[in-house]
Every structure is written in C-alpha cells, then in structure tokens.
Amino acid sequence: MELILEGVFTAFRLVFSGDADVWAITRLSLTVSGAATLIALILGIPLGIALAMTRFPGRAIVVALVNTGMGLPPVVVGLFISILLWRSGPLGFLNLIYTPAAMVIAQVVIAFPIVAGLTMAAFQTLNPKLRLQLLGIGASRPQLLWLLCKEAQLPLLAAVMAGFGGVISEVGSVLMVGGNIKGQTRVLTTATVLETSMGNFGIAIALGVILLTLAFGVNFILTRIQQREQIRWPRPS
Amino acid sequence: MPGPTLRTLVLVASALVLGMPLSTWVAEPANRIIVLATGHTLRDSGLLDVLIPLFEKKTGYVVRPIAVGTGQALAMGKRGDADVLLTHDPEAEAPLVKEGYLINRRQFMHNDFIIVGPAQDPARIARTKSAATAFRQIAEAKVTFVSRGDDSGTHKREQALWNAAGLSPTRPWYVEAGQGMGATLGIASQKQAYTLTDRATFLNLQKTLALKILLEGDPALLNLYSVMEVNPAKHPKANHAGARAFSDFLISDEARGLIRDYGKDRFGQPLYFLGPVK
C-alpha cells in the first residue's frame, strides 16, 4: 500500500518538477503512438469502407483476416518486424531497426486492423437506403463517401480511440523493434518494465500513472466530442 | 468536418509529430551508429549509462545498447545484427571467436556470482564453500530454486554449476523464470527461494528483496566480461571502425577509472573489477 502511495507521489514529483527524462519518454510515447494511429487511420478507414460497401471474391477471407488482426498479439508483430528490419533481414538496408520509425511501423501494423475492422462495422450499421437516397439526389462518388463518413463519424471516433488505446499501452512490439534505448527509443511502457525489473517500483508506478492519465485524457477529449454530437433523444413528456 | 474540437485535435497531433526533431525520424548515417548487444546485467547495474554518454561525447558516435541476454547477444553478433558485444560467458564466446565471427576479444573486467536465498537458509548452504556442493544440498532438500531460464550468461553459469554437481534439476522445486536478473530476484524473494545472481544486480536491488547472500568466494563463481567486435570480413555491413573505437574506449584509462569506482558511492564497494582476474 505504501508502495502505491509512494508511486503516486513520485508521479506528481516527476511531472511537476519537469524531470527531463520523464518528459522525453512521455513525448516519445505520444508521438510514436500518435503517428502510428494517424497512419493507421489513413490506411484503415478506406479499407474498412471498401469492405463494408463492396462485394468481391475473397471478401470473406479479407474480413476474417481483418477481424483476426484486431487481436494481433504485439509480441508477434514485434518479432516479424524485427526479423524484417534487422541488418541481416530483407529490409535491413533501411537502417530502421532500433529507431522510433521502426516503432511506428510496428504500431501501425497493430492499429491498422483495429481501425479497418471498426470502420467496416460502422459503415455496415448505416441504413443502406441512405446510399441510394444520396445517389438519387445526385451526389458524386467523392461527395457520397464524404457524406457517409459524416454520418458514421461517431463510430469512427471509437475506431480512433481503440486504435490509439491499443498502441499507447502495448509493450511487446516497441520493446523488440525499438530496443528500449535510453534517450532514443524508450517509451512509457518499456520504461515501466525496465524500472520494475530494476526494483524502482516508485518510478515504475509513476510511469504507469502518467500512462493512464494520458490514455484517459485522450479518450476523455474524444468521448466529449462523440457525446456532444450524439443525437439528443427527446425527453418523455 | 466533425466539429472544431476534432480539428484542433488533429492539429495538435500533427504539431506533435512534426515538432519532434527531424533526427528522431531520419535514420542516422549507418557509419555513426554503433549497435552494442549486451547482457541484461550491465544495463541493469547502470554502468552503461555512465560509460556510453562519455564515449559518445568524446567520439561523436551514437551507441544503441540492446540488452538481450548473453546468448541472444552472441547470436546477434554471429548474424551481423550488432557491431560490438559485451558478454559474460567465456565458454560460449570462445567458439564464435574461433570460427571467426567475432574478433579482438578482450576480457576487460570481472565481478562475481553469488548464491542468495532466504535468511533461514533451509538447505544450510551458508556452511559450505563450494557452489557445486551448495547446489547439491538445495537439490537434496528440494528447496525452491529460481533459474533465469533465458539462455543468459548467468543462466549458462548456473547450468555449468548443476553439471559440476552431477545433477539435472527437476520440477517442481526447480523453477524457470525466463526473465532478466531483476525479475528473477523478485520471484526468488517472493517465493523465499534460492537463486544464482551477479553481485552488481543483487546490490542494486537488495533493499527491495527479502534475500541474503549465502555463498560467495568460490573461484567457480568468477564472472568475466568480454568485449568483442563483429568481424567485418564476415559481415561487411558492420560498423567495424565504431566497434573498435568503443572496444578501445573500454580499456582506456578514463573508462577504467569509471569502471573501478562505479558503485563505491552507493554500496561502499565497487561493483566491477578491472582485468580478467582478481
């Protein structure tokens, strides 16, 4: 119990004293996971829309793959990305292993199926007649997509939250492809593992508290947006 | 667009990504980076955090220390995925040097392994002076022993000691953690079990552990650290100039001074000793 209190106090001390190491680690966590989520959205939303709105041979397989990918174990992703990026691997010439860029790549692989799967689900819940109506009033194809996206924006925000939440909190892949190098690739999760194994439980708990606060903050903002745009049900009179 | 808040959010996120120094994203030129593969113990003891910044400042190289355990570090060296190795398993190092994967092996420092366990010492190993005898007594008493179980230098030494004792340990009293030294010590402490550890990690964690040093000083517990360079003839992509610079730095007077004094202020005794023997 004392340990938890000590950790919480340490968290406050580290955050408010502006400890340079902790800030750098926090910033890198946000940047890597933010960039990964952004790229996952750019790739995942179009795929999700395509899967929801088109029929093609082999679609069932792709959908099953995306759904499996939503639960991709980060360590497996880490292992494969490592093997690809190692100097002895097929992409070794890129010199990306043990860099933040490698961590972004791994996290994109983790977040992309989550975003694609939830986007697909969001579009499938739209009323199919809406599409016909929009086409009927003369919407062009890009206009149609744009309007449907607007219609599905609340579930799409859920996709953003799930994607970001999935990658900011994962440790398996960033540890393997980033190497947890101090000042270069150390993020909140890998630093927590390290400090725990070094017996610095206070600092480990502090890092955990910062991670939780971050995840909460981002989700709080997104939830506010989501709920504000929510349809207001009329009160029963 | 779905509201101004989301737009702000996207702006903030983009600023965060773009605001990182470009160097975060662009890979450094390969000849300035040195990939250092090492066992967990050197990083966990904090010694690398003292040595590497000084080396980087003096030479302009950027070191990427990857702490993976000696077995895996040697495998990285053999594959050419590292430039320079810091390991502590002479028996596993020698064949790789002989086959020409690794060159210029220098045993630049040492410390020792110790056997730690609960203060009550149920297997009565504190009375013995030999690690092999102690292991035999633990096996006879069937008191829980936590092994690293991760192919690290410490794990290899533990296996060699079981061999010397003429035993192959078995479950349920023999437990494999599969983790680094810190985590393994934590498990041993919680289970009130015995384990083999390097002295540096134990001293670092002692305040969080309910374990005591029960056996030390057996010559079979000597822990020898080597620095080796990946052979550029086998792996032309390896940064050999950088590897040599780092390995030469470790035996420079400046680094030797840091190694010799490391830990004296916190533990009242050094964690490492220079050279191959006491």
In this structure, what CATH number is given to the domain that contains residue A198?
1.10.3720.10
- List the domain boundaries for chain B: 29-111+223-274, 112-221
Q: Is B66 on the interface with A (CB under 8 A)?
A: yes
Query: Where is pLDDT greater, at B73 or A135?
Result: B73
Q: How many CB atoms are closer than 10 A to CB A234?
A: 6
- Assess if residue A80 is contained within a domain: yes
Query: Where is pLDDT greater, at A163 or B21?
Result: A163
Please report the pLDDT score of residue B5 as a whole number: 54
Average pLDDT of B260-274? 90
The token pair that represents A229 in the structure block? 């745009």
pLDDT band at B258 (very low <50, low <70, confident <90, very high): very high
B44 vs A86, A101, A197: nearest CB: A197
Please report the pLDDT score of residue A34 as a whole number: 93
Q: Is residue A120 scored above 90 in pLDDT? A: yes
Quote the CA–CA distance of B169 and B257 in Å, as a whole number: 41
Nearest to A186 by CA among A203, A166, A202: A203
pLDDT band at A237 (very low <50, low <70, confident <90, very high): low
- Assess if residue A234 is contained within a domain: no
- Assess if residue A87 is contained within a domain: yes
The 8-class DSSP code of residue A227 comes to: H
Can you give the pTM of this predicted structure? 0.82
The token pair that represents B275 in the structure block? 């050279």
Q: Is A39 on the interface with B (CB under 8 A)?
A: no
Quote the CA–CA distance of B123 and B116 in Å, as a whole number: 12
Distances (CA, A) of A154 to A3, A67, A227, B101: 40, 20, 8, 57
DSSP for B64-124 reads EEEE--HHHHHHHHHHTS-SEEEE--HHHHHHHHHTTSEEEEEEEEEEEEEEEE-TT-TT-
Q: Hey, are the CB atoms on B182 and A224 less than 8 Å from each other?
A: no
Please report the pLDDT score of residue A176 as a whole number: 92
Distances (CA, A) of A22 to A29, A203, B77, B110, B269: 11, 10, 32, 32, 30
- Assess if residue A196 is contained within a domain: yes
- Assess if residue A107 is contained within a domain: yes
- Assess if residue A164 is contained within a domain: yes
- The pLDDT tens digits for B122-176 are 999 999 989 999 999 999 999 999 999 988 899 999 999 999 999 999 888 999 9
> Are the C-beta atoms of A188 and A25 separated by less than 8 Å?
yes
The token pair that represents B272 in the structure block? 């490492």
- The pLDDT tens digits for A135-181 are 888 888 888 888 888 888 888 888 988 999 999 999 999 999 999 98
Distances (CA, A) of A102 to A66, A83, A88, A160, A209: 22, 12, 15, 21, 26
For A66, the domain range is 2-228
pLDDT band at B22 (very low <50, low <70, confident <90, very high): low
> Are the C-beta atoms of A80 and A72 separated by less than 8 Å?
no
Quote the CA–CA distance of B195 and B158 in Å, as a whole number: 9
Q: How many CB atoms are closer than 10 A to CB B24?
A: 17
Indicate the number of domains in chain A.
1
- The pLDDT tens digits for B6-19 are 566 666 667 666 66
Quote the CA–CA distance of B106 and B151 in Å, as a whole number: 22
Please report the pLDDT score of residue B228 as a whole number: 97
CATH of domain B112-221: 3.40.190.10
Q: Hey, are the CB atoms on B6 and A225 less than 8 Å from each other?
A: yes
What are the beta bridge partners of residue B227? B86, B106
CATH of domain B29-111+223-274: 3.40.190.10
Q: ipTM surpassing 0.85, yes or no?
A: no
Handedness of CA A13, B18, A189, A41 (dihedral sign): positive
Nearest to A34 by CA among A111, A98, A94: A111
Quote the CA–CA distance of B229 and B210 in Å, as a whole number: 39
Which helix (H) or strand (E) element contains residue B192?
none
State the average pLDDT for chain A.
88
Quote the CA–CA distance of B14 and A141 in Å, as a whole number: 28
A221 vs B9, B64, B237: nearest CB: B9
pLDDT band at A186 (very low <50, low <70, confident <90, very high): very high
B17 vs A34, A94, A150: nearest CB: A34
Q: Is A155 on the interface with B (CB under 8 A)?
A: no
Please report the pLDDT score of residue B1 as a whole number: 43
- Assess if residue A233 is contained within a domain: no
- Assess if residue A69 is contained within a domain: yes
Nearest to A73 by CA among A212, A171, A187, A188: A171
Q: Considering only residues 186 to 205 of chain B, which have any Cβ-Cβ distance to chain A shorter than 8 Å?
A: 186, 204-205
